[in-house]
Amino acid sequence: EAGVTQFPSHSVIEKGQTVTLRCDPISGHDNLYWYRRVMGKEIKFLLHFVKESKQDESGMPNNRFLAERTGGTYSTLKVQPAELEDSGVYFCASSQDRLVQYFGPGTRLTVL
């Protein structure tokens, strides 16, 4: 069974540009989560989808971040426009029963 996949693995962009991160959860998992780890800090929750609906988006930093989950399958996280402080590793996770969350390898975002 394929695990959680994320694309791209690494993205380097200029401040002010737009970047879109993609996450493909494990097939059949209704719950999808986004987390972010800024260098030297804790991994922080961003938001949680149940199927295509946003269940909790309390961790989203500001309105420059937009997450979508098309048809309850894959999810995208768009940052527009990107700022320096957005640099970090963005993790996606999926789960069936919420207690056991399976994580993807992460996307390392560098904003110059």
Sites of contact with other proteins (CB under 8 A): 3-4, 31, 33, 35, 40-45, 48, 55-56, 58-59, 91, 98-101, 103-106
CA distance linking residue 88 with residue 40, whole number of Å: 10
The residue (of 16 and 61) whose beta carbon lies closer to other proteins is 61
CA distance linking residue 46 with residue 33, whole number of Å: 7
CA distance linking residue 14 with residue 46, whole number of Å: 22
Least distance (Å) between residue 44 CB and other proteins: 8
Least distance (Å) between residue 70 CB and other proteins: 21
